[in-house]
Structure 1
């Protein structure tokens, strides 16, 4: 239908015979809409409007006045604002990108790699587990003497919303070797042992030894602490080199930002950071499993004499009566 066009009424078609004067002759307008002979122009327009509505509403530009869509350029600032807000929320609560600045985690991670760190699970009380690669804030003095980056305003903004790795935060990345309750040690020429179980560490940098440059232990990891080491053992200032600190080289759990789960950049190095099988070997959890049972056993041992004394007293009382 031509927009705004309306046809007039057609002449009645002549047929043989006499028409009933009380029944108007049926006509069709040029659009094929049934009408009646003698219909006024207003009635024809009304019928045409009804036909338009039946076909899905008035056409664009018709006199009925359809709402005009907003320009894309007017919507663009709103879209950018929403995108930045979502990026900030994701960086704060879900995932954050970090850049690897050193060689201490070779060959698992190379200098310049970008890793994505899971920040969600710590919000639900999850703590680091053995074998996980974790990012944590400097516990105190670990990065003293390291050059401090000086990002520009754009880099600071992109880092703030999570579109770039943070350049100002003093964070480290290491592998969790032992957790609270574990006993960890490593003698020169020997492997790292956790709860008496020797670790098979294929992730160590080729040519490195497990700890010949800095033997340690045995130590028991305190509550809410972890023991961390770099995969490039002879090029990593990890827990072994901070045993004289106030925390004894242990990293507080509340300093952990999250677990590194994937190498996201460069694309040719994309890989997930899974937990090596050696941390799942039988018996490695034995020491930790004994810890919760020990208080229960001591409580039972202490309660048993009291129960026996009370039972004897009650029995004696009934006999005397």
Structure 2
């Protein structure tokens, strides 16, 4: 294993030499947007050829079963282009494809339906072969993908854990990483962030932690990301991304109760610089730390995943939540 250097972010060191990288939203919805700053940085911030070709994918909340037959590249793999027919009110993958195309960037986003581990792994394997992938980066908007299972709250684990289990089983891919953007956001779903930090420390001891990397607010990657998020907010006014809205505000130097959508009315937000930091890990190390990931290996539907997680939670003693002391 290469010895980390302070002057080289381990996330980028791990991806050095990769020719085809898939950046995939792990938790559904707009998660793929949280991977955009990394995608822009890997492609030299502007889409110019830097030796690495970046591809985008997302576990989708859109009812993909209504897409036309020609949109399907393989079972459970939809190819979403700017002109792909679909719902007008909520289709994050097409919204992103249209924004990318309008900004002279590659306008293809692959979309996976909400299926279990077995079919999702097969879908990923199809892209590994089709795109000749040598690296996959799962992106979580938030940090609940870091929950091992016995915490006081898991957030919304079903999609994240399905993605993690699916990619963990792809032995043919040399580099498999997880990166989280939006520290603190999952508090709304019951995640205790003292436990997040405890889990990160354990992953560090295991050698699975690739460090933290902030997104400079004045960088080209940040500028493009904020523009993409604003475009998505305008295109999806009834269901804008609360996660990416907070991250984008943090990337712009926002702090506190920053308002960007009526969806957050009645709650108090805590936008802060930690939301603009990538926390990165190896898939293998994160999967090894999970207390129940092996139970999901044979699932075919997301309903099965949810039932198995609920059953595990009923068996395990939960670690008590700890207040952040500062």
Q: TM-score range by the shorter chain?
A: under 0.3
| Larger gyration radius, structure 1 or structure 2 | 1
Task: Name the structure where strand makes up a greater proportion of residues.
Answer: 1
TM-score of the superposed pair, with normalisation by structure 1: 0.23
TM-score of the superposed pair, with normalisation by structure 2: 0.22
Task: Name the structure where helix makes up a greater proportion of residues.
Answer: 2
